[in-house]
Structure 1
Amino acid sequence: MYLEIVSPEKVLLSAEVNSVTVPGVEGEFQMLNNHAPIVSVLEKGFVKVDGNFEIPKNLKAEVTKAQDGKWHFPIKGGVLEMKNNKAIVLAD
């Protein structure tokens, strides 16, 4: 699936990924390829991304790679839309 993580200042990620896990207000949930369409409000936490992609050099200080191999993008909140194998996170 394709994932875009966008903040008011810049695009944090725009890449093909295997999965994405987000901090929804009702709890953390994961999306894989062919996930049903969804719109969700996100709370403070991490957008966890699994995939084989390059992190732009200007973002390496902002994101961390966990022991499970997933990249963790910190967010203060936001909104997620998933449809047609494309997830867009509008993050604060």
Structure 2
Amino acid sequence: ADLDTGNLTLPDALADNGRIQNHCSHLSCLKCSINDGFSVAGYFAWSLMDNYEFGNGYTLRFGMNWVNFTNPADGREKTSRKWFSMFIIKQ
């Protein structure tokens, strides 16, 4: 999750490189497991959009899409979504 207590700029919120590293690491390990003979049916990115978390309200952002909580129609794709889309296409 990315912490957003209201002082995170939009460019910083969209540049979620840590999320890319996290998915890349998991997918690399998944590929090694497949190469070792494990049967894998799929991979699911747990949260595709920022959402309300009961324990932390709107202070943590989990998704690959940035959600403007005051105007949800003003959503933006994060860098991780662009990376994930290209990763899936190349596979």
> With structure 1 as the length reference, what TM-score do the two structures score?
0.27
Larger Rg belongs to: 2
> With structure 2 as the length reference, what TM-score do the two structures score?
0.27
- The structure richer in strand per residue is 1
